[in-house]
Amino acid sequence: MNVLDDLAGGLIVSCQPLPDDPDDPMRDPYVQARVAAAAVRGGAAGIRANGPADVTAIRAAVPVPVIGLYKAGSADVFITPTAAHALEVAAAGAQVVAVDATDRPRPDGRTFADTVRALRAHSDALVLADVSTVAEGLAAVDAGADAVATTLSGYTSPGRHPDGPDLDLLARLVGLLPVPVLAEGRYRDAGQISRAFAAGAHAVVVGNAVTSPLWITRRLVTAVPRHR
Ligand SMILES: CC(=O)N[C@H](C=O)[C@@H](O)[C@H](O)[C@H](O)COP(=O)(O)O
């Protein structure tokens, strides 16, 4: 048994301020911990959170597993881009560390496998590989990832992101990988969550649709005459 078993068949709520708005008023560890506590009260089996301060605050506030990541820098690879970031978020209390496992160059010139090795050497945290393609999922498992998530599908090329989740990538990863596959990225409603579990998802991660008043309000005001 490990924390991935605790997440099986569950909803994971991603409690993060909006990355593209430095003035998001939700950018506060206390606030994120309260959001996480509400999500767990509502039935979340796990929480995903960004940065050591939020991870520590959330670990203290909820009894469920916390997947930590560390968004940093302005390079293409910004989700836990280096082994140092991974170790810091593990030391902050994350039982699982989410790391970009795409095939893009990393800011320190090292590899995803280096990050896995560093975590194995210095912490008990499990490694969740955030990928955008089947090939990246296969490579992540070869590099030692404990689980894979579809997090980065739709985010590796410039331009507008797709609206909906990538259920096709999810199904293909589920069919090929010997590790749990998490559905993440643009899941907004119960129908999409049901389809992800039907496709074999180990767990489904939902972020902004639950945890960002800023994101939700910006979407709703597009239908309001005075904001057009
Ligand atoms: C691409 C990227 O940076 N993804 C990040 C991963 O941690 C978050 O900003 C996601 O938006 C979140 O985890 C999932 O949120 P939603 O369910 O709203 O897609």
pLDDT, tens digit, 9 for 90 and up, residues 94-151: 999 999 999 999 999 999 999 999 999 999 999 999 999 999 999 999 999 999 999 9
Q: Residue 109, Cα to own-chain centre: how many angstroms?
A: 23
Which pair of structure tokens corresponds to residue 9? 């068949």
How many CB atoms are closer than 10 A to CB 47?
30
pLDDT at 228 over 90: no
Q: Is the pLDDT of residue 1 over 90?
A: no
Ligand 1, residues 12, 16, 136: which to mutate, most atoms within 8 A of Cβ? 16
- In CATH terms, the superfamily for domain 3-222 is Aldolase class I (3.20.20.70)
Ligand 1 centroid–CA 152 distance in Å is 8
- Tell the residue nearest (CA) to atom 14 of ligand 1: 207
Angle between helices 29-41 and 52-61 (to 10 degrees): 40
Looking at residue 111, its amino acid is: T
Residue 90 Cα to ligand 1 middle (Å): 19
Query: Does the ipTM surpass 0.95?
Result: yes
Pocket-forming residues, ligand 1, beta carbon under 6 Å: 14, 16, 19, 48, 69, 79, 151-152, 155, 184-187, 205-209
Number of CB atoms found within 10 A of residue 195's CB? 18
Domain boundaries, the chain: 3-222
Q: Is the pTM of this model over 0.95?
A: yes
Digit-coded pLDDT (tens) for 7-49: 999 999 999 999 989 999 999 999 999 999 999 999 999 999 9
* Atom 4, ligand 1: residue with shortest CA distance: 151
What is the distance in A from the centroid of ligand 1 to the CA of 185? 6
Q: What is the mean pLDDT of residues 198-207?
A: 98
Note whether 58 and 47 are within 8 A (CB).
Answer: yes
